[in-house]
Amino acid sequence: MKKLRFLTAGESHGKALVGIIEGVPSGLALTVEELHAELRRRKLGFGRGARQKMEDDRCEILSGVRHGRTLGSPIALMIANQDWKNWSDVMQAESYSGEVRRKLEVPRPGHADYVGGRKYRHEDMRNVLERASARETTIRVALGAVARKLLAELGVGIGSRVTRIGSGEDTAPVTTAVEAINAIADASPVRCLGEDAGAAMVREIEAAKKAGDTLGGVFELLVSGLPLGLGSYVHWDRRLEGEIARALMSLNAIKGVEVGLGFHAAATPGSLSHDEFLVSEDRNGLSSPTNRSGGIDGGMTTGQLLVVRAAMKPLATLMSPLRSVKLATGEAAEAHVERSDVCAVPAAAVIGESLLALVLAEAVLEKFGGDSLEELCARWEDWNRAVPPIRKSPLP
């Protein structure tokens, strides 16, 4: 059984989103403001739709925390949907005899509508859209904020930046400390570190919007302060990059994940793909002059910076709709159109941070255990003293 588990529930225009996270040790200081800080970051980014302005994403802690500290019991969170008041008849749980508004009858290519409708036998594909929507990721960010706080107590920092939107690219390597990346990225309209590259990405989004089109892109996640040895090589389902890829691929619209050199390594010789070992200056452990592996070897963290990238496809709801079919009549029709983002890569990066935090917190608890934070911290410190991480090196 996983040492840290979570579940979410809630429809996009339903009453509320709810989440439960189980396995968080006792004694972790946690405030609702810390959850709100991450939820505000999820709303960032040029190219989002009107929904972001409407939702305040206020989170309520329903259980598992008392007087500002976790109890070790399941933590339940709830975020009310402000838009619910406009959809209460469409989304009500009780049976409804009036005319059903907002039916989804023409599936959007690239969305879950058609396949989900056939699979669950929903004639009205609204039943699919409501749960397939990335609104659900709001509660995952709140749950991820709990995991992030646990990691922060251990000195683990997580940051992200957008490296591509459409054909606009930020190729500059990261020279900033992980702890400082988010302050720079969050101040950019597209969460990009380079100003010129950011301006080019904004222009791309403006052009796509004008054309009724959408854009995807790439974001990069960086994690510092990890110990050597999270994850394992001994069995396939314990390899950490497998867990990371799974979590990121579970994020709506993500189509690719890479660690370190990633796909680039496929076209690079071995002599330029690996991280040579050097004796570290203090002769305690090893150092490496590079970090091409992105901080994972053999499914285990090396203790160097963890570097993960994810590719997001362009969103499926186009204001200039693609060709589709009205299922009830079998006639050709334009795909369903609904309020939508033009580009959500900046938000996806923040959600990616949260999902990575959940995976890493689980890996930490799997390795070190501990019912209380005190117990966990003591085991963490013992390990880092006994087995130092491979010394930090510049990217990549």
Q: Contact region for ligand FMN (CB under 6 A) — 187-195, 245-253, 370-378, 384-392?
A: 245-253
Pick from 306, 255, 317, 277: nearest CA to 51: 317
Nearer to ligand FMN, 137 or 324 (CB): 137
Q: Is 340 in the site for ligand FMN (CB under 6 A)?
A: yes
Q: Is 112 in the site for ligand FMN (CB under 6 A)?
A: yes
Q: Is 143 in the site for ligand FMN (CB under 6 A)?
A: no
Taking the alpha carbons at both ends of the chain, their separation in whole angstroms is 35
Binding-site member from 341, 353, 362, 366 for ligand FMN (CB under 6 A): 341
Residues 18-57 that bind ligand FMN (CB under 6 A): 49
Q: Is 192 exposed, middle or buried (0-12, 13-18, 19+ CB in 10 A)?
A: buried
Q: Contact region for ligand FMN (CB under 6 A) — 180-188, 204-212, 338-346, 370-378?
A: 338-346
**Alpha-carbon span 368 to 351, nearest angstrom:** 26
CB of 115 to ligand FMN, least distance (A): 9
Q: Is 133 in the site for ligand FMN (CB under 6 A)?
A: yes
Sign of torsion over alpha carbons 270, 274, 280, 285: negative
Contact 309, 241 (CB under 8 A): no
Q: Is 347 in the site for ligand FMN (CB under 6 A)?
A: yes
Q: Is 111 in the site for ligand FMN (CB under 6 A)?
A: yes
Pick from 136, 143, 332, 96: nearest CA to 128: 136
**Alpha-carbon span 366 to 285, nearest angstrom:** 24
Nearer to ligand FMN, 128 or 154 (CB): 128
**Alpha-carbon span 341 to 52, nearest angstrom:** 10
Nearer to ligand FMN, 64 or 314 (CB): 314
Q: Is 344 in the site for ligand FMN (CB under 6 A)?
A: yes
**Alpha-carbon span 256 to 261, nearest angstrom:** 14
Pick from 338, 299, 293: nearest CA to 319: 338
Q: Is 348 in the site for ligand FMN (CB under 6 A)?
A: yes
Question: Which residues contribute to the site for ligand FMN (CB under 6 A)?
Answer: 49, 111-112, 132-134, 137, 251-253, 315-317, 340-341, 344, 347-348, 351
